[in-house]
Every structure is written in C-alpha cells, then in structure tokens.
Amino acid sequence: MVLVSFQGERGAYSEAAAEKFFEKCTTLPLGTFADALDAAADGRAEYAILPVENSLEGSIGASYDLLHHTMLRVTGEIYHRIEHCLIGSGSLENTDTIYSHPQALGQCRKFIEQHNMKTIPTYDTAGSVKIVKGLDNNCASIASQKASAIYGVPIITRNIADNPNNHTRFLILAQSESSSTGSDKTSIIFSIRHEPGSLYRILAAFNESGINLTKIESRPTKTNAWEYNFYVDFEGHKDDPQIQKVLEQIERETTFIKVLGSYPAAG
Amino acid sequence: MVLVSFQGERGAYSEAAAEKFFEKCTTLPLGTFADALDAAADGRAEYAILPVENSLEGSIGASYDLLHHTMLRVTGEIYHRIEHCLIGSGSLENTDTIYSHPQALGQCRKFIEQHNMKTIPTYDTAGSVKIVKGLDNNCASIASQKASAIYGVPIITRNIADNPNNHTRFLILAQSESSSTGSDKTSIIFSIRHEPGSLYRILAAFNESGINLTKIESRPTKTNAWEYNFYVDFEGHKDDPQIQKVLEQIERETTFIKVLGSYPAAG
C-alpha cells in the first residue's frame, strides 16, 4: 500500500482527498506543507498531496511558492468537495467561540455572524477539533465530518459554509513522472522579461497551437518587487511533440521556466 | 482636511500609507475592509484606503473580492514599505510568544523559528500591540514602529522580516473620479466566455494598441466553480480615445466587465 504525506492532523481535508485519489493508501500527517513535500522528496513517503486552489478563496499562495522550489514532479490532481461542520460538545445555543483555520472561518462568515460567535484562528481544521475537546462546551470547531468521528466530538450543525460550491483542487507529487494517457494536463512555472507584450507572445504560442490553458496565476518573485512568476496549466502531455514545440518556443520569451509535470486530468 | 477610512487599529500600515498619500488627513479606523469601503460609500469618510497586494505574499484576495462589488471608484494608488518590529515589554531572550496578523507572522517566519517562539494569530498588527500591553512580558507582537509609539510598548528588535523587499500596494477609493494627468493607470475586472483563446484575444487587443499591462490576476467567480474573474491594470486613462477603443473591443469577448477607475500612477 502506498504511503502519502499531507499537511494537517488526521481527519484533515487533505487526508480525505488522498484517500479518494488512491482508494487504498496509508497517510502520514505532518505539520507544514513543506514537511509534507520533504517526506516525499527524501523517501519517507511515496507521494505528497498538496492543496493548491479553492473554488471560493482562490489559489493557496504558500503551495505555489513551494512548487517553485520542489524537485518533485506533479503526477496527479483531484477535486475534493469541502463540507464544513460545526463540531463541539455543547448545543448551538450555548456555543459562543469557534476555533478553526482562518480559511474555514472565512468560508463560514455568515453563519458565524448570524450566531454572533467569536472566532479564534488555528493552524488546522482537524487540529481545532482536538483543541476544543479539552475546552468548555461553549467552544466549538469547524472541520470535516471525518474529524468529528476521529476525535469523538459530536457534530452540532452540518454544512455551515456560506456557499455550498466549495471545492479544493489538490496536486499529487512524487519523485517519478506520469506517462501520457491521452487526457492529460501539464503544469509549468515561468518568469518573463520586463518587456511590453511578453506575456501576450507566450499566450499567442499556445493559441496558435490550439492548446487550451486551464489556469493562469501570477505570484510575486520575492527577489524583485513587482516581478511575477506565472503558473500555467494547459491540456496535453509534455511528451507530445506539439507541446514540446510550444515549450521550446516560449522558452525564448522567458527568463526562467520549469515544467512541474504532466498528469491525467481529473473529471 | 479629508477623512480617510481604513481597516485596522490606529498605527496600522494602512493608516501610515493614507498619511503618506494625502500628506494632511484625518483617519477613521474600522474593523474590516468592507466597513472601510462602506464608510466612503455612505459619506462618513471622503476616501477609503485598501491594501491589494504585497510584494512577498501576493494579492490580497478579500480586497479583490470587495473591488468586484463596490460602487466606489479607484482614484489613486500608493506603494508603502512595510518594516516589521518586534514590540513588547520584555527582552528578546525572555520573549517566547508572538501575537500578530497571520501575514506578518508569515513574513517573519525565519526570525520566529530562530528564536523558537510560539505564534498566536490576531486580526491586526497594530491590534496585537494593544493585546500584548495587557499580558506578561514573555509575550510580544509584530507591528510598525508607529504602533509601538501609539500604544507605548517598546520596540525589542527592528526589521525582523525575512526579506527586506516588503512593500504593499494600496488603492485609494472615493465616490468621484480622477481626471487624466498624462501618467495614469486604469484598473478593470472582467469575466470571459469558456472558449479556448478568449483571454488570448483580450491580451491581443491590448498588445495591438501598444497598451502596457502592469498586472493580471485571476480570482474564482464564486458562483461557478473554476470560472474566473480577471483583474487587470494597464497604463493609460479610460477617457483616452485609444483606451476607449480597446475597452469596446474587449467588451465583445467578456461576459462581464467593470472599469474600477483611472488614477495617477505612483512613482
């Protein structure tokens, strides 16, 4: 059975996504995204799973920054529905303080405001269930149904998020590459020269080859203020001759380019 | 003297940026970004100041989401250097717990790890100085030099951020518009049809007119999973005939377009 590292405590959404992707796997909970990637890079785990984007909150900047530096390859993707539950030992009426990850607190803002609850940010959704287990029953947490089951703290209210359209996209990373399946995506990172039209000429190369971009994201380079790395996903496998030709073409327009990997496109 | 609303407690970086932009102004501290914009929309303040991007952390998603809905116009921009200080009543040696906004904690990660300190996330940098004032002197906060002066809590160590290249870009919003100065920027938001090449054709229109894009950012629409709004800044004023022509051209490619405003480009 494969071993998959993830950030968070047992019961985290990342763990559930890993179990859905691999069907059969064991999981290794670690403290940070960087720890999860390190475990796959040094062989303690065969795969790492990393959340990269949420349908409500947008891209997870810290994950994109790690992709820039990792030696691992992206070998898969999965979309996982996030269903936030209010979890605690008290009733809805006597709950006045909520512990959870800031992103989960943000996604349940209306529910929290309606019930006039105080929020306390924590490092992890599942970890917040562990925290409230030791507190008075006016304290509750926001996490998954699975975290409620693992830590034995009851669900007070299900589906408390403002917007039910709440999905997270996860990437699967490993030391090896995925071969072409005929329905693949490729993820790349590049920086461009500070010249008018640089980004346009790169998009033009994709457009002329009929390659469909599925995502474009810019992140500061951190070395030079207001210079950006672009994170682009497109349809096709990096071993396709047509994709190779476009990658060669855009290399001329970039100051840095890294192919993160090609992998079967999810649903 | 103009009145400018901002999110945060007195001594926040937003307040310092407002005071630099207007030279002479009074400021109105409010609890959330939405409150700050509301104050300018309902006439309690003449202007609101909103942080939109940091040179290390990237775009501030919550601010972009508010720009999508606001009736206010963008009338100015300013770049402000962020200099994080460790502020508390104890010495560096006996400080073991740090309170601050998660973004400030993230920007001082190396310093915090080196000194093996515990972190507690708060809603605001300046607010964290207020919090530690009432606590034991093993607790300190990360905030600006000004917040130290306002709340009378000493600076333990200056410039504790991992990377000194730490600037935040703020937008100034008001009910009225800025007229053309000859050196302006324009900010727009648009959504595109789910067709290959839509984004490419929009960038092509800018490129053919020789208009330089200074920023492109995508954010989930929240209504349909994995559909995006694009936030684009470019050089020029929306009243320039050439800009008007391009805006008409790209309107055909978009399902939604909003001109946030034109304003003098900062430095």
Q: What is the pLDDT of residues A133-143, one digit of tens each?
A: 989 999 999 99
Share of chain A above pLDDT 70, in %: 99
pLDDT value of residue A60: 85
Over range B25-52, report the average pLDDT.
Answer: 95
pLDDT band at A213 (very low <50, low <70, confident <90, very high): confident
pLDDT band at B109 (very low <50, low <70, confident <90, very high): confident
Pairing between β-strand A118-121 and β-strand A97-100 as defined by DSSP bridges: parallel
Using the beta-carbon criterion (under 8 Å), do A163 and B222 form an inter-chain contact? yes
Q: Which one of A52-56, B28-32, B88-92 scores highest in mean pLDDT?
A: B88-92
Q: Rounded to whole angstroms, what are the CA distances from A83 to A7, A13, A162, B189, B206?
A: 18, 9, 11, 30, 41
A240 pLDDT above the threshold of 90: yes
B92 pLDDT above the threshold of 90: yes
Q: Return the residue matching tokens 């900010």.
A: B187
pLDDT value of residue B80: 94
A144 pLDDT above the threshold of 70: yes
In whole numbers, what is the pLDDT of chain A averaged over residues?
92
Among the listed residues B170, B190, B206, B234, the single catalytic one is: B170
Comparison of pLDDT for B32 and A79, the residue scoring more: A79
Q: Environment class of residue B164 by beta-carbon count within 10 Å: exposed (0-12), middle (13-18) or buried (19+)? A: exposed
Tokens of A51: 């959340």
Among the listed residues B125, B168, B186, B254, the single catalytic one is: B168
Q: Find which of B64, B218, B253 to mutate to test the A interface (most A CBs within 10 Å of its CB).
A: B218
Q: Which residue of A has its CA nearest to B106?
A: A62
Q: Find which of A35, A59, A223, A227 to mutate to test the B interface (most B CBs within 10 Å of its CB).
A: A59
DSSP one-letter string for chain A = -EEEEEESSTT-HHHHHHHHHHSSEEEEEESSHHHHHHHHHTTSSSEEEEEEEETTTEE-HHHHHHHHH---EEEEEEEEE---EEEESS-TTT--EEEE-HHHHHHTHHHHHHTT-EEEE-S-HHHHHHHHHTS-TTEEEEE-HHHHHHHT--EEES---S-S--EEEEEEEESS-PPP-SSEEEEEEEEE-SSTTHHHHHHHHHHHTTPPEEEEEEEE-SSSTT-EEEEEEEES-TTSHHHHHHHHHHHTTEEEEEEEEEEEPP-
Over range A31-54, report the average pLDDT.
Answer: 95
Over range B240-254, report the average pLDDT.
Answer: 94
A3 pLDDT above the threshold of 90: yes
CA angle B196, B189, A232 (to 5 degrees): 45
pLDDT band at A15 (very low <50, low <70, confident <90, very high): very high
Smallest Cα–Cα separation from A167: which of B57, B199, B227? Answer: B227
Over range B88-113, report the average pLDDT.
Answer: 91
Q: What is the pLDDT of residues B121-175, one digit of tens each?
A: 777 899 999 999 989 999 999 999 999 999 999 999 999 998 888 899 999 999 9
Comparison of pLDDT for A170 and B106, the residue scoring more: A170
Q: Environment class of residue A182 by beta-carbon count within 10 Å: exposed (0-12), middle (13-18) or buried (19+)? A: exposed
**B78 Cβ under 8 Å from any chain A Cβ:** no
pLDDT value of residue B220: 81
Share of chain B above pLDDT 70, in %: 99
Q: Which residue of B has its CA nearest to A224?
A: B165
A96 pLDDT above the threshold of 90: yes
Q: What is the pLDDT of residues B200-220, one digit of tens each?
A: 899 899 999 999 888 888 888
pLDDT band at A225 (very low <50, low <70, confident <90, very high): low
**Residue B168 annotated as catalytic:** yes
**Amino acid (one-letter) located at B180:** S
A195 pLDDT above the threshold of 80: no
Over range A162-186, report the average pLDDT.
Answer: 93
A80 pLDDT above the threshold of 70: yes
Q: With beta carbons less than 8 A apart as the criterion, state whether A170 and A51 touch.
A: yes
Rg (CA), chain B: 20
What count of CB pairs under 8 Å joins A to B? 78
Buried b (16+ CB within 10 A) or exposed e, B120-135: bbbbbbbbbbbbbeee
DSSP one-letter string for B50-85 = EEEEETTTEE-HHHHHHHHH---EEEEEEEEE---E
**A226 Cβ under 8 Å from any chain B Cβ:** yes
pLDDT value of residue B225: 67
B242 pLDDT above the threshold of 80: yes
